[in-house]
Amino acid sequence: MIRKNTIIMAVSLLLIVLILSGCNAVEPEQDLANVTEIDILILESFPVQVHVVAKGYLPNPCTQIDEIIQSREENDFTVTIKTQTSPGPCIQVIQPFEETISLDVYGLSAGTYNVNVNGIEDSFTLDVDNIPQMI
């Protein structure tokens, strides 16, 4: 009877170790945030300020926003939201997030501009050149 209990205990511990070792990452994992929608806000000021509100979810509470990179090529803005996941076991519950990103629109000419945040796209229009006029 004691031997049977010892074997059951050893097998149970081995299963626990195998399950937990599959959840452990040696290094933090980096990925892109799952963005589900973006809203573009044009603030009533001059020069105009434009903010993009990105909403989405992270796969678990161990994943955090790590870096937000913004670039512009002609009339196309690209925003990349990167995440980093801490190593170790973590409960698998999605975490919603919302990030507000200020676009660098100072000095832009009037026109329509496209915004892409991790694959989600929208656009906005500047009705006038975004440069203060000196009198």
pLDDT in tens, 5-54: 777 776 676 666 545 555 544 678 899 999 999 999 999 998 999 999 99
C-alpha span between 24 and 127 (Å, rounded): 52
Predicted pLDDT of residue 110: 96
Please say if the pLDDT value at position 106 is more than 90: yes
- Percentage above 70 pLDDT, the chain: 84
Pairing status of strand 95-103 against strand 49-58 = antiparallel
Q: Tell which wins on pLDDT, 104 or 19.
A: 104
Please tell me the least confidently modeled range out of 41-45, 78-82, 87-91: 87-91
Rounded to the nearest angstrom, the gap between the alpha carbon of residue 11 and the centroid of all alpha carbons in its chain is 40
Written as six digits, the tokens of 103 are 């676009």
Phi and psi for 46 in degrees, rounded to 5?
-140, 125
Predicted pLDDT of residue 25: 44
* Cα torsion angle, 101, 103, 106, 111, sign: negative
Please say if the pLDDT value at position 105 is more than 70: yes
* Cα torsion angle, 114, 119, 122, 124, sign: negative
